[in-house]
C-alpha cells in the first residue's frame, strides 16, 4: 500500500503539473460560496465533512505511533506524504465530481463507483461488467471499512480515553451516549452531517491548535531542537530522547509514510464521496478545495502534533526511558500529561472530538456506497447497523476490528487508485483548461438525472 499510494502521489503530482502550487487559490475557494451551482452542501461543508472523517485519532495517536516506531524523523516523512498526497486528493475528487449523478430525489451522488460506472460507458449506453465489478468491489470494501474504521474503532478510542481520564465511568453508559449523539446527526442525512461538521471541525481544530501552542510555549527551549531533531533523524540514523528511541533512515521513512498516507486518506477514495455532493460549477473548483484537506490534516495538524510530542519528549526523556511505553496511545497520553494543567484536557478534548467527527464523516461514506448497491431503501438499515457496531466498539470488541478495518481500507484503495490512474490523462487535460488557462469560473453543463442503484438495474 505504501508503494502504491506514494507512487501514485508522485506520478499524479507530475501529471497535474504540481497542482500543489495552487494551494493559495484552493484555500480561497474553500471559504467562498459558489453561487448558482448545483449541489446538496456548500464547498466548505463538503470539505468540513471530509476533514471531520480525516482528522481523527490518527492525527494524535498515529503521529505518536510513527515517532515511537520510526523515530522523530518519521514526522518529516508524514509531511512529505501530505504535500504529494494533495495531487492524488485533487485527482480523485475531480473524477468524482466529473462523473457524479443525480438520483430520483435530486441528491448528488458520486465517488469511485460512479466513475467506474460512467467513464467506460459504451456508445450504446451500456457499461462493461468489469467496470461494474470495479464499482461493486469498491463499495463492498468501503462498507466494511466504514463499519470498522468509522464506527467501532473510533467508539473504542473515545471510550478508552474517557475511562482513563475519568475512572469509574461505566463503558455501557459511554456507549449509549455515543450512540445517541451519532444517531441524532446521521439519521438526518448529508445536510445534517455537514451542518454539524461545519461548526464542529473549525472549533475542534482551533482549540486543539491553540492547546498545542500553549504546550509549545511551555516547551519553548525545546521547540527549535525538536524541529532540528525531526529533520536530522529523517536523513541520518540518530538516537533520540536519551537513546530510548532511535532508528535508521528507512524505518523512519516507512513508518512516517505509512501513518501519513492513512492520516490524510489521499487515494483511499473516501473524501470524493462527499465532495461530489458539493455545490460547485465545475470539477476543478471542488477538487482544489478538497486537496486542502490533505494539507490541513497532515501538513498542519500532524506537524503540530509531531513538534509537540518531540519537544515534550526532549524535555522529559524519562517518559519512555523505562521502556514501559510501547504503544502510540500510551506515548501520547504520557507526553501530554507531562504538561501541567493543560496537557491532559487538550488530549481528551482532541481525542473525543476528533473521534466523534470521524464517526459522522465515515457514516456518510458508507451510506452512499449502500445507496449505490441497494438504493435508498438500504439507508436506514445501514445507519442502524452503523450505530450498533459503534456500541460494540465502545464496549470492546478486541483487536480483530482494527485488523478488519485495515484490510478494508487497503482493499478499497486498489479499485480507487486504478480508476484514478486510468482517468489521469483526461483530468490533466481538463485541469489545464480550468486551472492553468484561467477558466475556473466556467460552468460545466453536463447533468444526469434519475440514476438508480444496481438493484434497480438487476446487476447487484
DSSP track, 223-242: HHHHHHHHHHHHHS-EEETT
DSSP string, 60-87: THHHHHHHHHH-THHHHHHHHHHHHHHH
The DSSP secondary-structure symbol of 282 reads S
Confidence at 406, pLDDT banded by 50, 70, 90: confident
User: Is the alpha carbon torsion for 399, 402, 406, 407 positive or negative?
Assistant: positive
Picking from 60, 34, 58, 31, the residue whose alpha carbon sits closest to that of residue 47 is 31
Q: pLDDT (tens digit, 9 = 90+) per residue, 444-458?
A: 654 444 555 555 554
Over range 352-365, report the average pLDDT.
83
**What integer pLDDT is reported at residue 391 of this predicted model?**
86
Asked whether the predicted pLDDT for residue 459 surpasses 60, the reply is no
pLDDT score, position 458: 46
- Sheet strands (E) in 178-261: 238-240, 245-247
pLDDT band of residue 247 (cuts 50, 70, 90) is low
- Strand positions, DSSP E, 156-211: none
Residues 163-216: pLDDT tens digits?
A: 777 777 788 888 888 889 888 888 877 677 777 777 777 777 787 788 888 888
Alpha carbons 94 and 291: distance in angstroms, whole number: 10
Would you say how long the chain is, in residues? 460
- Spatial contact of 70 and 245, defined as CB atoms under 8 Å apart: no
Are 91 and 12 in contact, with CB atoms under 8 Å apart?
Answer: yes
Its sign, for the CA torsion 413, 416, 420, 422, is: positive
Q: Lowest-pLDDT range, 24-28, 238-242, 256-260, 284-288? A: 238-242
The answer to whether residue 337 scores a pLDDT higher than 80 is no
> Which domains, from first to last, does the chain contain?
2-6+27-439+452-457 (1.20.1740)
CA atoms of 337 and 331, how far apart (whole Å)? 10
| 3-class state of residue 424 by DSSP | helix
Q: Which residues contact 289 (CB under 8 A, 6 or more apart)?
A: 26, 29, 30, 43, 44, 46, 47, 275, 278, 280
Could you give the CA distance from residue 262 to residue 110 in angstroms, rounded to a whole number?
A: 22
Q: Over the stretch 144-169, which tens digit does the pLDDT of each residue have?
A: 888 887 788 788 878 877 777 777 77
pLDDT the model gives residue 460: 45
Q: At 108, list the grid cell.
A: 448528488
CA–CA gap between residue 347 and residue 365 (Å, rounded): 27
Amino acid at each position: 500500500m505504501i508503494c502504491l499510494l506514494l507512487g501514485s502521489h508522485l506520478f499524479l503530482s507530475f501529471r497535474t503539473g504540481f497542482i500543489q502550487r495552487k494551494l493559495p487559490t484552493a484555500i480561497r475557494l474553500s471559504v467562498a460560496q459558489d453561487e448558482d451551482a448545483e449541489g446538496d452542501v456548500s464547498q466548505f461543508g463538503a470539505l468540513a465533512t471530509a476533514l471531520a472523517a480525516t482528522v481523527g485519532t490518527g492525527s494524535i495517536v498515529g503521529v505518536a505511533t510513527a515517532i515511537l516506531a520510526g523515530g522523530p524523523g518519521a514526522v518529516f516523512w508524514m509531511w512529505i506524504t501530505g504535500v504529494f498526497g494533495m495531487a492524488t486528493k485533487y485527482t480523485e475528487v475531480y473524477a468524482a465530481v466529473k462523473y457524479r449523478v443525480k438520483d430520483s430525489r435530486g441528491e448528488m451522488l458520486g465517488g469511485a463507483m460512479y466513475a467506474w460506472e460512467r467513464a467506460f460507458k459504451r456508445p450504446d449506453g451500456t457499461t462493461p461488467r468489469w467496470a461494474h465489478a470495479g464499482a461493486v468491489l469498491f463499495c463492498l470494501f468501503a462498507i466494511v471499512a466504514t463499519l470498522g474504521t468509522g464506527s467501532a474503532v473510533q467508539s473504542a478510542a473515545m471510550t478508552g480515553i474517557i475511562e482513563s481520564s475519568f475512572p469509574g465511568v461505566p463503558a455501557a453508559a459511554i456507549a449509549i451516549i455515543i450512540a445517541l449523539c451519532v444517531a441524532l446527526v446521521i439519521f438526518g442525512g448529508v445536510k445534517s452531517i455537514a451542518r454539524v461538521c461545519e461548526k464542529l471541525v473549525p472549533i475542534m481544530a482551533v482549540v486543539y491548535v491553540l492547546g498545542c501552542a500553549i504546550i509549545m510555549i511551555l516547551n519553548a527551549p525545546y521547540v527549535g531542537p525538536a524541529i532540528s531533531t525531526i529533520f536530522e533523524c529523517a536523513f541520518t540514523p540518530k538516537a533520540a530522547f536519551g537513546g530510548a528511541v532511535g532508528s535508521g533512515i528507512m524505518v523512519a521513512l516507512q513508518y512516517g509514510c505509512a501513518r501519513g498516507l492513512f492520516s490524510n486518506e489521499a487515494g483511499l477514495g473516501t473524501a470524493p464521496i462527499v465532495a461530489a455532493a458539493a455545490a460547485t460549477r465545475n470539477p476543478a473548483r471542488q477538487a482544489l478545495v478538497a486537496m486542502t484537506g490533505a494539507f490541513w490534516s497532515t501538513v498542519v495538524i500532524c506537524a503540530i502534533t509531531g513538534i509537540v510530542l518531540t519537544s515534550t519528549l526532549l524535555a522529559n526523556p524519562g517518559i519512555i526511558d523505562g521502556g514501559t511505553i510501547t504503544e502510540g496511545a500510551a506515548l501520547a497520553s504520557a507526553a501530554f500529561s507531562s504538561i501541567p494543567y493543560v496537557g491532559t484536557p487538550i488530549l481528551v478534548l482532541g481525542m473525543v472530538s476528533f473521534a466523534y467527527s470521524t464517526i459522522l464523516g465515515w457514516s456518510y461514506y458508507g451510506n452512499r456506497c449502500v445507496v449505490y448497491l441497494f438504493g435508498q431503501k438500504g439507508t436506514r438499515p445501514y445507519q442502524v447497523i452503523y450505530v450498533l457496531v459503534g456500541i460494540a466498539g465502545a464496549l470492546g470488541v478486541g483487536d480483530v476490528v482494527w485488523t478488519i478495518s485495515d484490510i478494508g481500507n487497503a482493499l478499497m484503495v486498489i479499485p480507487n487508485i486504478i480508476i484514478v490512474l486510468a482517468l489521469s490523462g483526461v483530468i490533466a487535460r481538463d485541469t489545464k483548461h480550468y486551472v492553468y488557462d484561467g477558466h475556473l469560473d466556467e460552468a460545466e453543463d453536463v447533468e444526469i438525472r434519475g440514476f438508480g442503484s444496481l438493484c434497480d438495474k438487476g446487476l447487484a
